[in-house]
Amino acid sequence: MAVADLASFCQQFWEQVFNKCKRALVFLDPECAESLHWVGGARRLLDAGALNVKEFSSFESGGSNQPKAVFVLSSLLQGRTVEIIRDIISLSAFQYCIVFTVLPHWLHLWANNANSEVEESFVFQQFEEKLCEWMGNMNYTAEVLYAPVLFAPLASHLCVTPSLASLFPLGSRDLNQLNCSRPEKKKFGSLSDVDFSSLPVKLQIQIKLLTSGLNHLFEYLDVREDCFAVGTFSKIIAGDLANCPHVKNRRKTAQNKASLVFIDRTLDLTGAVGHHGDSLVEKIISVLPRFPGHTNDVMVNTVELTALHAADGNSDTVAPGCLAQPNDPAAKTLWESLFSIKQKEAIMEVRRHLVEAASREKLPIKMSMGRVTPEQLSSYIQLFKKNVEALENHCGLLQLGLATAQTLKHPQYAKLDNFLAFERLLLQNIGDLQLPGVLNQLYPMIKSHSERKNDDYNLDDLLLLLVYIYSVVGEIPQQKELEVAEDKMTKKFVQVLCDEPELSSLSQKITGCESSSELTFSKAKIALDEIFKTLREITKSRIHMKHFNSVYVPGSNTRQASYKPLLKQVVEEIFNPDRSDCIDIEHMSAGITDLLKTGFSMFMKVNRPHPADHPLLILFVIGGVTVSEVKMVTDFIATHKPGVQVLVLSSKLLKPLDIPELLFATDHLNPDIGI
């Protein structure tokens, strides 16, 4: 089959939007804006003839001489979304409104519990009438269209879903909540018993949005997929896709085949919060602040490219740069290469690109060899700001150069090596001291704000280390010694948290308090008790696994204890030369044909589907993936299976602090989908 190109796939559906934008005001919600960001940004809309691009907000509107509006939305046409559209139209003078939604018509029908026999575009037609009503004339023009702009292509082999950034595997707390919501029904004994129909409707809609988007990807690739799942939540999603009635025609006619493996993030949180990766991109994403309103890109301070002085606090007056450079071929090539090489090589590659660009522009560059420093990179970048044409020609490259320099001199960057050293020490001590001993070792590091120095761990850092410890250690027996250690940790955390003069963003979300003045001892205690309950759940996350039941490799006389990523174990197992069935990678059957095959296989030889059967392997990590994991997978395939193409998809690109927020401060069962 032809090489799958994720960027082209994403571009294709945005073209539908671009074709409708001539002389229009375009309103985007944050999720669609982020998807567009990675395929060309607002520039693509303006090039297509849009008059302006605005935020999807009740505080925005059009002018008296702007009769056309285009809305691009990632939510159902219900609830808050409908209210905002009505607010914008009522403040404007539109005569032509086009609404693009990421959710297909059949999903709108399903969400409204409508009869499946109603007219094919019934919901969209009804909404078109409402749009005309709000515009004040039923003879005006309104269109409601489906555009599956769900994915954002971060690289040629990596895609994320900004609309589903909060999608995360369920835990024991969610199981308890589900059981409480079904007082008259049989309780679930474990997460393995939970099926799709027992989930809250909002979560079902998110899952169906994901499977609908994946179906469009497979239509584009012209493939019939075999679905596999690693983990209980992945099993629910893979099952919904495998049995989705809307994919039958595509599966009958598809010319190619692919294997799709869903993997629960919660089976390995160690890799998500750890600092073992040797990747420049991962360091940039971990250290620099998030781009406003985005879940994957970061904000690059561009003051250095102007005549302003950063010391004067002008960073907020200049538009920030970013990592996404889809309109700049040279910068895009550099960005792609940074995903596949180690940090030291990546920094040298950034320098090489800056030097070559300066030479092409005949800028007075002074060559220097040896170690690359942030000051050296900044000096090269400074050369461009005096030449407007050179600055414009290489704007994308300069943003990547600034991101690299700002990361290398960021105060948090020095801490990353400290984290790595301490995590290695923890791995050794888990084998020797067991969990209570490791917690007692961590206890002295919990320091109040007045005691902490620059290189000490703050509360956010300590939460990362706790997640690392509880995830790597695996299932632990209930023991008095552990209860005592946890109780001591909780009391210290509560005390330190209450003494904080200013709560971090993560602490605000966990405690539900916007400021330290709102935080009481009682609220802090409740939050910390919940955190340690969740940490205990993490140790049981692999309890149902037979093969992938540990990410910890104990030390011996000849080697140190180490962490073995679950994703690496999964890929190694898929391409194991023995081709033995791994019961932890469960195949999800797609209807009666597969059930018959399974039945026949009991008394005659029938080959079960195997994820290594096809030339295209797609891994979807539910709950986020790290740059290091993506690199690890692509490196493995390139070395051991060069004939196989691998695509990595996920809900988001993770930085370590995302995990405590997703674990401790996110309602997994009732996502905010605007209804």
More confident residue, 607 or 288: 288
Tens of pLDDT, residues 485-519:
999 999 999 999 999 999 999 999 999 999 999 99
Supply the pLDDT for residue 122.
87
Q: What percent of the chain has pLDDT over 70?
A: 95
> For 68-110, what is each residue's pLDDT tens digit?
999 999 999 999 999 999 999 999 999 999 999 999 999 999 9
Per-residue pLDDT band for 463 (boundaries 50, 70, 90) equals very high
Helix 395-408 vs helix 280-287: crossing angle, to nearest 10: 80
The per-residue pLDDT for 315 is 64
In three state form, how does the secondary structure of 581-637 look?
Answer: CCCCCEEECCCHHHHHHHHHCCCCCCCCCCCCCCCEEEEEEECCECHHHHHHHHHHH
Query: What is the band of 476 on the pLDDT scale with cuts at 50, 70, 90?
Result: confident
Model confidence at 317: pLDDT above 80:
no
Residue 639 has pLDDT above 80, yes or no: yes
Q: Do domains 6-146 and 150-268+565-674 have the same CATH topology?
A: yes
Q: 300, 321 in Cβ contact below 8 A?
A: yes
Show the tokens assigned to 587.
Answer: 């195949």
Residues above pLDDT 90, as percent of the chain:
74
Q: What is the mean pLDDT of residues 239-252?
A: 87
Domain boundaries, the chain: 6-146, 150-268+565-674, 289-409, 412-540
Helix, strand, coil distribution of the chain in percent, nearest 5? 50, 10, 40
Question: Around Cβ 359, how many Cβ atoms within 10 Å?
Answer: 11
Q: Indicate the fold that domain 6-146 takes in CATH.
A: Rossmann fold (3.40.50)
The pLDDT of residue 120 is 66
Backbone angles phi, psi at 187, to 5 degrees: -75, 150
Residue 316 contacts residue 418 (beta carbons within 8 Å): no
53-67 average pLDDT score: 95
Which pTM was predicted? 0.94
pLDDT of residue 164: 96
- Look at residue 117 in the predicted model and tell me its pLDDT: 56
Compute the average pLDDT of residues 458-464.
94
Question: What's the pLDDT score for residue 213?
Answer: 94
* The pLDDT value given to residue 592: 45
CA 427, chain centre distance (Å): 27
Strands (E), 231-341: 256-264
- Residue-level pLDDT at 597: 46
Q: Mean pLDDT, to the nearest integer, of 585-594?
A: 71
Strand partners, 101: 73, 146
**CATH class as words, domain 150-268+565-674:** alpha beta
Task: Judge contact between 639 and 611, C-beta under 8 A.
Answer: no
pLDDT digits (tens, 9 = 90+) for 168-214: 999 988 999 999 888 778 889 899 999 999 999 999 999 999 999 99
Indicate the average pLDDT of the chain.
Answer: 90
pLDDT of residue 593: 46
Weakest mean pLDDT among 381-390, 430-439, 621-630 = 430-439
pLDDT, tens digit (0-9, with 9 covering 90-100), for 325-381: 999 999 999 999 999 999 999 999 999 999 999 999 999 887 777 789 999 999 999
Say which DSSP state 308 is in. S
pLDDT at 253 over 80: yes
For residue 396, give the H/E element and its range. helix 395-408
103 versus 305: the higher-pLDDT residue is: 103
- Of 134-138, 248-252, 664-668, give the lowest mean pLDDT range: 248-252
First-last CA distance in the chain: 41
